[in-house]
């Protein structure tokens, strides 16, 4: 229905109020991005206050709420000003934006109650929105819509196009991208400037429905939102030609104003140009329906796997996760087109409705998993350990959203063998260890994998599980507990000369080395550091005090690996820590050849103990 004159006037007054809030808040802060916020005012005011957005501000977590993600997170002054115009943020709170105690941070974080996800690193919001849309369409089956405000600069990010193609593949007609094409980036014109046709051709080629509008015409914008709501079986993109700095004459469409607050005469001129602003004006957001999410059912119960013979930990992961899916209907799985190798295909076979193929697009996979997690699901995300390095920025940002992701990296280390260096995860432990609040787990056999998958599923936060390609012997019983932060002392005596600390594949090398050394009359303690982060400091301290030092052996580069983690944990002590790690450029070969080549095999451990015992 076209806008009536009364509605149009009301929206225009709200736009003026929102612009006033943007200018006041950024000028008071002395920093921020007013010009990038001003360009999208009409786009967002129309969405929020013309009845298109269905959202209960009293219940931000309500499952029926539409979702709005500011992928162009630097436009946070606009986000905060919208809620000020809705009467949810006071003017005093708004004017404290960017101060230390304020939840209104420089880029949106969940400290602000109405933030869906932390944004600001460009090119990620659409993936997160895609995950939320997947949840609405395929899991909760609720009629909410996810809106994502995009900037034209971030359309150069490859992660955007990963998300764009997957959204079309899954026919997400509950996902609407709003592209603010204001022409100017941080240092000048964007790749396509105001050429909306360039964006239209690309989006349509990927299978999106595209609507082109004047981004400052409220009637045009309202018509586009109405039409987007009627599109079936494909996502919609509203391409809006806008002017950066719109509403402030001396900065409109002017380069050099990105990320700069208005000051002095510029500030006063901006307020004068707005004219009379009614600060008592308030916009109203429409409430959503109150529907129950679809009942979460399991296809059929699966008995927990029994591992009595040698099995790869990647295979044990797939079987263990499938069994857990039968008990935990909140679990979902995503994989990067390698599920036959990661063994996430086990989930796909038994619970296809909760498995999402993300194809070879790992950045989008991580973002989509975050979106699912923020809608109450517990996502397990799998690919080769090496390929998770592509997702580091998504994971880094996820920690600021409170993401509940479980990442599982297979084919770790040189022990994968003949596939060669491109497939070997050798940096993954360092990467995941560096993330705030993360947990890093590294099982060595089938039973430990099963227990650690359960531990990961029950932990609130980011967990990384590292799995191996080759089969390994079973050394634990099916009921052995594996709490996060623990370790296992596998052999111990009062005569131990040194303690060999190992994880995953090297646990078995350490046990074989201990047997060889014992025949020579040299005893060593062997500890399975299955919890790489957090480490069991007390057990390491005890072992360090009772033996001549710790020898850490790992199938990973030394930088940021387990050896450095142990050394850091014991840095305030005099306990010596020796590191055996991957220090030579790896190549193709048999697993045992590569373990020898890198000096992390049983032979290398034996040689190191002999060397140290002779000194």
- Residues contacting 339, CB < 8 A, separation 6+: 345, 347, 348, 355, 357, 382
Task: Please tell me whether residue 147 adopts helix, strand or coil conformation.
Answer: strand
Tokens linked to 469? 């390609």
The predicted pLDDT at position 295 comes to 84
Contact between residue 261 and residue 255 where contact means Cβ atoms under 8 Å apart: no
The predicted pLDDT at position 303 comes to 85
Give the residue from 592, 613, 443, 583 showing the smallest Cα distance to 520. 613
371 sits in the region (left: phi over 0; alpha: psi -120 to 50; else beta) called: alpha
- Residues contacting 178, CB < 8 A, separation 6+: 40, 43, 47, 147, 148, 149, 150, 237, 238, 240
pTM above 0.85, yes or no: yes
User: Does position 138 have pLDDT exceeding 70, yes or no?
Assistant: yes
The predicted pLDDT at position 21 comes to 98
The greatest distance separating any two alpha carbons of the chain, rounded to the nearest whole angstrom, comes to 94
The predicted pLDDT at position 1 comes to 67
pLDDT in tens, 343-396: 999 999 999 999 999 999 999 999 999 999 999 999 999 999 999 999 999 999
Q: What is the mean pLDDT of residues 18-34?
A: 98
Q: What is the mean pLDDT of residues 89-101?
A: 97
User: Does position 194 have pLDDT exceeding 90, yes or no?
Assistant: yes
pLDDT in tens, 405-436: 999 999 999 999 999 999 999 999 999 999 99
Instruction: Among 3.30.70.260, 3.40.50.920, 1.10.1040.10, 3.30.390.10, name the CATH number for the domain at 488-614.
Output: 3.40.50.920
CATH code for the part of the protein at 311-472: 3.40.50.970
Catalytic site residues? Answer: 362
User: Which CATH topology does 11-274 take?
Assistant: Rossmann fold (3.40.50)
Domain with CATH 3.40.50.970 in the chain: 11-274, 311-472
User: Does position 297 have pLDDT exceeding 80, yes or no?
Assistant: no
pLDDT in tens, 99-119: 999 999 999 999 999 999 999
Model confidence band, residue 230 (pLDDT cutoffs 50, 70, 90): very high
pLDDT in tens, 265-282: 999 999 999 999 999 999
pLDDT in tens, 507-548: 999 999 999 999 999 999 999 999 999 999 999 999 999 999
Mean pLDDT of the chain: 97
């Amino acid at each position: 229905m076209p806008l009536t004159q009364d509605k149009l006037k009301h929206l225009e007054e709200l736009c003026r109020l929102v612009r006033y809030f943007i200018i006041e808040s950024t000028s008071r802060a002395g920093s921020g991005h007013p010009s990038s916020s001003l360009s999208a005012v009409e786009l967002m005011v129309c969405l929020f206050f013309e009845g298109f957005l269905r959202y209960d501000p009293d219940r931000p977590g309500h499952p029926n709420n539409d979702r709005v993600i500011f992928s162009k997170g630097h436009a946070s002054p606009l986000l905060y000003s919208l809620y000020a115009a809705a009467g949810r943020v006071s003017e005093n709170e708004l004017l404290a934006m960017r101060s230390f105690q304020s939840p209104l941070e420089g880029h949106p974080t969940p400290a602000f109650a109405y933030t869906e996800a932390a944004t600001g690193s460009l090119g990620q919001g659409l993936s997160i929105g895609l995950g939320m849309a997947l949840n609405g369409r395929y899991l909760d089956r609720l009629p909410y819509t996810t809106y994502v405000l995009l900037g034209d600069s971030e359309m150069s990010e490859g992660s955007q196009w990963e998300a764009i193609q997957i959204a079309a593949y899954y026919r997400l007609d509950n996902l609407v991208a709003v592209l603010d094409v204001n022409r100017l980036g941080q240092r000048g014109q964007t790749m396509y400037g105001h050429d909306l046709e360039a964006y239209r051709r690309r989006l349509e080629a990927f299978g999106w429905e595209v609507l082109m509008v004047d981004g400052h015409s409220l009637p045009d914008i309202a018509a586009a939102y109405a039409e987007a709501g009627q599109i079936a079986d494909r996502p919609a993109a509203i391409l809006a030609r806008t002017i950066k700095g719109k509403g402030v004459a001396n900065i409109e469409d002017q380069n050099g104003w990105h990320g700069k607050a208005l000051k002095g005469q510029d500030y006063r001129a901006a307020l004068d140009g707005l004219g009379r602003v009614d600060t008592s004006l308030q916009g109203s957001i429409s409430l959503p329906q109150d529907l129950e999410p679809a009942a979460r059912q399991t296809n059929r119960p699966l008995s927990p796997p029994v591992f009595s013979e040698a099995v790869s930990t990647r295979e044990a992961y797939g079987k263990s996760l499938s069994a857990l899916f039968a008990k935990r209907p909140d679990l979902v799985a995503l994989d990067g087109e390698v599920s036959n190798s990661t063994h996430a295909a086990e989930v796909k076979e038994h619970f296809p409705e909760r498995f999402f193929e993300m194809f070879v697009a790992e950045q989008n996979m991580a973002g989509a998993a975050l979106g699912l997690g923020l809608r109450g699901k517990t996502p397990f995300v799998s690919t080769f350990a090496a390929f998770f390095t592509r997702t580091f920025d998504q994971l880094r940002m996820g920690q600021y959203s409170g993401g509940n992701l479980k990442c599982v990296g297979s084919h770790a280390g040189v022990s994968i063998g003949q596939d060669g260096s491109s497939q070997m995860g050798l940096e993954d432990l360092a990467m995941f260890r560096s993330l705030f609040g993360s947990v890093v787990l590294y099982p060595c056999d089938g039973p430990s994998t099963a227990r650690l998958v359960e531990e990961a599923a029950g932990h609130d936060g980011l967990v990384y599980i590292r799995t191996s390609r080759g089969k390994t012997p079973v050394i634990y019983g099916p009921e052995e507990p594996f709490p996060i932060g623990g370790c296992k002392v596998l052999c111990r005596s009062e005569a131990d000369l040194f303690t060999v600390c190992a994880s995953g594949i090297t646990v078995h090398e350490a046990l074989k080395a201990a047997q060889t050394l014992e025949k020579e009359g040299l005893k060593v303690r062997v500890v399975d550091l299955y919890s790489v982060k957090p480490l069991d400091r007390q057990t390491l301290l005890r072992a360090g005090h009772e033996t001549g030092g710790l020898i850490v052996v790992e199938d990973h580069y030394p930088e940021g690996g387990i050896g450095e983690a142990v050394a850091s944990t014991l840095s305030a002590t005099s306990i010596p820590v020796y590191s055996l790690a991957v220090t030579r450029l790896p190549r193709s070969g048999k697993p045992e050849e590569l373990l020898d080549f890198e000096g992390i095999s049983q032979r290398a451990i034996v040689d190191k103990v002999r060397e140290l015992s002779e000194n």
